[in-house]
Amino acid sequence: MNRDLTLLIPGFMRPECVLASEQPTLSRLLSRADGVRCATNHLEQRILNLFSIQGTHETLPVAPLTYLLDGGEPSDEYLLRVDPIYCQPDRGRVVLMARELGLLQAEADSMIADLNRLFAEDGWQFIAPHPDRWYLKMPAAEQLKTTPLSSVMGHDIHNFLPQSPQGVALHRAMSEIEMLLHSNASNQQRIAAQQLPVNNVWIWGGGRLPAKPKTAWAQIWSDDSLVLAAAKHADLPRCESPETATQWLQQAITPGHHLIALAAPEEVYGYDQTWFAPLASALKSGQLNTLTLWLDNGYQYQITKKSLRRWWRKQRTMKQFL
């Protein structure tokens, strides 16, 4: 079958994961592959680039795309993501510890109602079609420079706050949001039930809905909201993320170039057996023409059946690819 595969695994090459595991098949694949430095190492920008949707790190149109996925109908208005998050004080810092807090829709609706009452006179409109993905329409929104949420995880939020000509007023508003969320009844119930509360929001991903992209993907395999949103906007077939490469090889009966975007792994110990060894075998047997890997170390690697035969290349350790 005439199939090609691009496999995106964000966060795979974290040193604490790679150095604690053996990846013999992957190290052989990377040692014999053609490696090219990526134009960007920011996840959201890389995803949109895969769909020929342009934007800088500060101006990615994530909000209108995922709003479309969540059942909204984006007009030409500038839309922002304003996602519920949990932050934790740490020695003078405020560290973003969690997103996608598993809110119920009723909890999100309660918080959104409070926010809309607070900012009605300012012309801010909050929307929550999905409990973990909130949106904001506000005057002069296009003047904001923001940082994608994934880039702030585990860091002090004060180093990444949105920037605008009305900086003082914006930061004061964010402080008001923090206080309002603390007193929200649904949040108080979450605390009483020993669940993580929503104690802040993160503003990011603003833009207008881009033109419908033209891409050559045969099929998209992912559970990532931004990947699915971009695929929906491009009218591409979408499937659930496969659990293993063997499962994908059995299910991917459509010829052409496929994209698999997996969730960031908590650990990578089993990936050599569940993903890289079956894909290497598929290349060797001709079930797969090319394999392109994006593993979050700043490079993309392309491997073919021909490149697998580069026996003269010394096999490098995974540490050398970090």
Residues with Cβ within 8 Å of residue 20, at least 6 apart in sequence: 269
Of the residues 174, 191, 207, the one at which a domain ends: 207
Q: What is the dihedral of CA 284, 286, 292, 295, to 10 degrees?
A: -40
Confidence band of 59 (pLDDT split at 50, 70, 90) = confident
Q: Is residue 72 located within the same domain as residue 123?
A: yes
* pLDDT class of 99 with cuts at 50, 70, 90: very high
Q: Give the pLDDT of residue 245.
A: 98
Residue 43 has pLDDT above 80, yes or no: yes
Q: In this structure, are 13 and 123 located in the same domain?
A: no
Predicted local distance difference test score (pLDDT) of residue 16: 81
pLDDT at 319 over 80: yes
Say yes or no: 241 and 298 in one domain: yes
Examine the domain organization and report whether 105 and 235 are in the same domain: no
201 lies in the same domain as 222: no
Report the alpha-carbon angle 309-221-72, nearest 5.
Answer: 150
The pLDDT of 80-96, averaged and rounded, is 94
**Region 132-146 average pLDDT:** 93
> Same structural domain for residues 150 and 179?
yes
User: Are 222 and 307 within one domain?
Assistant: yes
Residue 17 pLDDT > 80: no
Q: What is the mean pLDDT of the chain?
A: 92
> Does one domain contain both 225 and 317?
yes
Closest to 202 (Cα-Cα) out of 320, 87, 49: 87
Nearest-angstrom CA–CA distance, 55 and 62: 10
End residue of a domain, out of 207, 226, 250: 207
Average pLDDT over residues 89-112: 94
How many domains does the chain fold into? 2
Question: Average pLDDT of 257-286?
Answer: 94
Write out the two tokens for 60. Answer: 């990615």
Determine the structural domain holding residue 202 and report its residue range. 62-207
* Same-domain check for residues 201 and 79: yes
Confidence (pTM): 0.92
Q: Find the mean pLDDT for residues 255-279.
A: 94
In a shared domain, residues 110 and 163: yes
The answer on 166 and 48 residing in a single domain is no
Looking at residue 87, its amino acid is C
The lowest-confidence range among 35-49, 86-100, 101-115 is 35-49
Whole-number Å distance between alpha carbons of 74 and 71: 9
Q: Do 140 and 164 meet the contact criterion of CB atoms below 8 Å apart?
A: yes
Which pLDDT score is estimated for 321? 86
Segment 256-272 shows an average pLDDT of 93
**Same domain, residue pair 100 and 223:** no
For the chain, give the percent of residues with pLDDT over 90: 75
Span 220-243, pLDDT tens digits? 999 999 999 999 999 999 999 999
Position of tokens 């920011």? 42
Domain stops at, among 207, 242, 268: 207
